[in-house]
Chains A and B, each alone.
Chain A
Amino acid sequence: MPDLQRPRSDDLDAVAARLRHHIVTSTTAAGSGHPSTSLSMVEIIAVLYRGGVLRYDPSDPVNPNRDRFILSKGHGAPALYAVLAEAGYLDASELTELRKMGSRLEGHPNMCRVPGVEASTGSLGQGLSIGVGHALGLRLDGSDARVYVMVGDGESEQGQVWEAAMFAGNHSLSNLTLIVDRNGNQQTGPVDEIQPLSPLEDKFEAFHWAVRTIDGHSLNEVQEAFEWARSVGDRPQVVIANTIKGKGVSFLEERQSSYHGKPLNEDQAAIALEEIGASV
C-alpha cells in the first residue's frame, strides 16, 4: 500500500480565501444553502486538509489507513465541497453545480456519491457517533489513522452528541478529535438565548475528554490545537473553536444571528468576493 501523505500548502491564508470564495459563489449560484455556516469553519478545514494534519490520497479515497473528517453539521456542505476540491477530490469547476438537478453536490453531503465525504449527514447530532464507530473500527484493526468530527454549537444541543461523548470518554478513544464550531448562533438565534452550552469545557472534561479552546480563525492556533490533539494519547480530545458565523464577509458578520441559511444575491456576492479577495 503506498504511503499516505499529509498534504501541506505553504500559503494557508490563500487556501482559506479560496474556500471562502467558493462558498460564496457556489451558494449564490445555487440560490440557496448555508454560506454563513460554511464561512465559520474555513480555517479549521483549511488546516485539516492543507496544513499537514489529515493523511489522505484523493486518488485512493477509501484507503483503510486514511484519516477521516466527518462533517456532522452537514449544512456546511459548501465548505466541505470547496476543501475537497482544494484537496484534489473534486474539480473546482464543479462547485457551482451545488444543489442543481443531477449534481452529486447535494444540499447536504452524500457519501455514496462524493469521494472524500465520509458520512452522509444533514440530520444534526449523528456524526460523532459515526466517528466513534470509525475510531473503534480503526482500533480493532490496529491502524494508527485518526478520526476528526466537526459539530456545530447549536447541534450540540442534541442528546446523541452526549451519548457519543460519554462513550468515547469511557473507551478512551484517543484517536478521535472533535471540533466544536462555536459560532454562537444557530438557526433561529443565538445559542445563549436558546439553550446555552456553558460551561462547555467543563462538560467535556466531566466526560473524560481533553479540552482546548482556541480562536477558530487563527491559523496558528488551529494548527497548534491539532498538534496538541495528536499528542494527548490517552483520551479523546475536543477543540472548542470560537468562531464568527459568516467570517470574512462584513455584512454577514454584523448580522450573525439573522443570516442562517441565506445565500447572497449577485450584488451582495460581488461585494463579498471583493472583501475576500481570493485569487482563483
Chain B
Amino acid sequence: MSFGLTRVDLPEGDATREAFGDALAEVGANDERVVVVDGDVHNSTFTGKFGERFPERFFNAGIAESNMVGIASGLAACGKIPVAASFSTFLMSNAYDQIRMSVAFPNQNVKLVGTHAGISIGEDGPSQMAIEDVALACALPGFTVIVPADGISAAAATRAMIAREGPTFLRCGRPKVPQIYSSEDQFHIGKANTLREGDDVTLIANGIMVAMALDAAEGLAAAGIEARVIDMHTVKPVDVGAIERAANETRGIVVAEEHLAFGGLGSIVSMVVSERRPTRMAFVDVGDTYATSGPPDDLLRQYGLTPDAIVDAATRVLKD
C-alpha cells in the first residue's frame, strides 16, 4: 500500500494489529495477570501469539462478543488484566451495552482492542469497517482511547495500557503501515507527539493519517507554508496543552482521521479549540457515509483520505 505518499520516504513497518499481538505476548510473559479473551478471530487480531505461549490464560469465547466483554469484566473484578480483542466494529458495536454496563460504569480494568479499524481494510467492505468506534469509545466516561500510527507506537501503547489502571480502548488497523517512530522515541498516554515543527498551520492526526500529514507537510513546505505535525495518538484524555499551543502559535488547524466526521478526534479537538482559543479549522475524515469494497489505496482516495486532501484543507484554513 502507498497511502498516497509521494513526498516522504518512510520504511514499511508492521501493521498496528500485529505489533499489538507481539507486544501482548511479551507483556504476558512478564505479568501473570494478563488474560486474553478472543471472539474467534485470534489469527486476525494476532492475540493468537499470546494464546500459543499462554494457553491457560487464553479463552476463545467463540462468536459471542457480548459474552466476551462480560467475562472480561468478571476477570477484572478478580484482579486480572483482561484483554478482549476482536474486529473493532464487532467489539464496539455488537457489545456496546456490555461495554457500557459491565466495563465503563463499574470502571473495570478491561482492555478492549479493536483491530481492522477504518476503511483501509479494503475488500472485505463496509460491514467489517469500524468507522464509528472512536466516537463510541470516547462517549464512555472514564475510558482511555488510543489510536496509534505505526507498529512501534502500537507496541508502546499496548505496554502502556497494561501498565496503567483503567478501562481502555486501543484501535488498530489491518494493513502494514509506514514506520514513523524508532524504538528510542517516547510514548506516553495522553501526551501528543510533535513530529514536525511549523508556525503557519497545524496538522493534527492519528492512525494512518499521521504518515499522510507528514507527507502533506512536505507538500505545504514546497509552497512556502510551514506546517506543524502532531500525532494525537491518545484521543481521550486528549492533550489539551498541545492543541492550545497549536491554536495560539499557528494560524489554523487541520484534523485528519480515518473515522466518521462526528464524535472522533475532529470533534474533540474542536471542543478544545472553541473553548480555549477559537481559530480556523478544517477536517479530513470519512464524512457521514459508509464506504464500499475495494483496494485500500483506491478506497482512501475515493473517500478523501490522502495527503493531498490534507494539503487542500490546510490551504483552505489559511485563506482569509
Which A residues have a C-beta under 8 Å from some C-beta of B? 64, 110-112, 118-123, 125-138, 140-141, 159-160, 163-164, 166-167, 171
Contact = CB atoms under 8 A, between A and B. Distances in A.
B107 A112 contact: yes
A246 B232 CA distance: 55
A160 B66 contact: yes
7 contacts: A111-B77, A118-B77, A132-B67, A136-B35, A140-B56, A140-B57, A160-B98
Nearest to A132: B71
The SS class assigned to the A binding surface is helix
A134 B72 CA distance: 9
B123 interface: no
A133 B74 contact: yes
Contacts of B98: 126, 129, 160
A167 B37 CA distance: 12
Interface residues of B, number: 30
Contacts of B64: 160, 163, 166-167
B77 A134 contact: yes
Interface of B: 35, 56-57, 59, 61-62, 64, 66-67, 69-80, 82, 97-98, 100-102, 105-107
A130 B75 CA distance: 8
Contact of A160 (B35, B70, B78, B79): B70
B227 to A, nearest CB: 44
A129 B106 contact: no
Contact of A129 (B35, B76, B78, B102): B102
A159 B63 CA distance: 12
Contacts of A121: 101
Contacts of A141: 78
B129 to A, nearest CB: 24
Given A129-B98, A137-B80, A160-B98, A167 B67 contact: yes
A141 B79 CA distance: 10
A115 B170 CA distance: 31
